[in-house]
Copies of this chain bind each other. A is one copy, B any other.
């Protein structure tokens, strides 16, 4: 692990990420010693810091450190965390704000093929997401809801759909959710809760380029169950089609294949 650029295995005890979850993080797929879509990830990291009033990281420095860590790795997962630095006891941030950055490399997860065409079995989770526009969208470190939702998945399910407290479908436990109906793409608006994923962003950009009609708005669970086809997006798993949600089965729509190919070409072709 690199802590502020130095090899270390220790998180400082006064780190405000540890004390209060004050910070943001990125999970990045690594292929052929390159962190994929790094520009997108660093841009989201900076947006998140800005939203939390954490001094924005030097993205050039993080980029250099990221390449240093991933060197020689064919397949891996890179995690970057930026926290609100160190402080004394007490919620209010210190007057002289600082930040800590942590970069850590993980092995590629066992059994996960990126952009696999196999459909996943999905549960509708009981855990709900609280509505808080102030914290919505960013990938901050207060992730108890995702932990509780993730704990609901047993061996029978590869993903879960998580609703907000008003009953709308928001996202997966660790992925974004997309619906296909009448040849159009629909994905939940994340301005009140949920995380704006990088693969979701890439898919939306790709849909725009391919002239696929796209909507981002509130989505009910009924709409999910009545969609023609569903898929999840996540930078490690890529685009993951849904085989079924509880007892309702879904077909893999040709649009999913078209999006997969276009996103993959875009990723590798432009070297992001």
Contact = CB atoms under 8 A, between A and B. Distances in A.
Interface stretch (A37-45, A88-96, A221-229, A251-259): A88-96
Interface string A55-84: 000000000000000000000010100001
A12 B13 contact: no
Nearest to A160: B92
A212 interface: no
Contact of A128 (B52, B79, B132, B146): B132
Given A132-B128, A132-B165, A142-B142, A147 B92 contact: yes
A9 to B, nearest CB: 6
A173 B134 CA distance: 16
Contacts of A27: 89
A216 interface: no
A187 interface: no
A1 interface: yes
15 contacts: A9-B10, A9-B13, A10-B12, A11-B13, A11-B15, A18-B18, A20-B141, A20-B143, A21-B21, A90-B150, A92-B153, A130-B130, A130-B132, A135-B144, A135-B145
B13 A1 contact: yes
A244 interface: no
A104 interface: yes
A151 interface: yes
A128 B133 CA distance: 10
A89 B77 contact: yes
B140 A144 contact: yes
A1, A22, A91, A153: residue with the most chain B Cβ atoms closer than 10 Å: A91
Contact of A93 (B91, B127, B151, B174): B151
B165 A148 contact: no
A219 to B, nearest CB: 20
